[in-house]
Amino acid sequence: MDKIAILCSGGDVSGMNPAIKRFVEYSFAKGLEPYFIHGGFEGLIDGHITPATYPDVAGIITRGGTKIKSSRSPRFHEARYRTLAANNLKAQGIDKLIVLGGDGSFRGMELFYHEHQIAFCGIPSTIDNDINGTDYCLGVNTALEVIKNAIDSIRDTASSFRRAFVIETMGRNCGYLALVSAITSGAELCLIPEMNLNIEDYKGCFESQIRKGRDYFIVIVSEALQNSHAVSQWFEQELGVESRVSVLGHIQRGGNPSVYDRLMAYQFTTYAIDALLEGKTHSIICYTKSHFSFKSIDEVALNSYQLDKELLALGHEQFAPSQCQM
- Alpha-carbon span 310 to 67, nearest angstrom: 37
Looking only at the bridges linking them, the beta strands covering 119-124 and 94-101 are parallel
- Alpha-carbon span 155 to 133, nearest angstrom: 35
- Alpha-carbon span 262 to 96, nearest angstrom: 23
Backbone angles phi, psi at 216, to 5 degrees: -155, 160
| Contact status, residue 290 vs residue 123, Cβ threshold 8 Å | no
- Alpha-carbon span 232 to 234, nearest angstrom: 5
The DSSP code for 72 is -
- Alpha-carbon span 36 to 69, nearest angstrom: 10
Q: Which long-range contacts (CB under 8 A, 24 or more apart) does 269-274 make?
A: 269/19, 269/22, 269/23, 269/26, 269/98, 269/123, 270/22, 270/26, 272/98, 272/121, 272/122, 272/123, 273/4, 273/23, 273/26, 273/27, 273/30, 273/32, 273/98, 273/121
User: H or E element: which one contains 272?
Assistant: helix 259-277
Q: Residue 274 catalytic?
A: no
Q: What angle separates helix 16-29 from helix 259-277, to the nearest 10 degrees?
A: 40
Nearest to 125 by CA among 269, 223, 5: 269
| Half-sphere exposure at residue 303, Cβ-oriented, CA atoms within 13 angstroms | 12
Q: Report how many helices (DSSP H) and strands (DSSP E) the chain contains, helices first.
A: 12, 11
Exactly one of 2, 12, 56, 128 is catalytic; name it: 128
Catalytic residues: 128
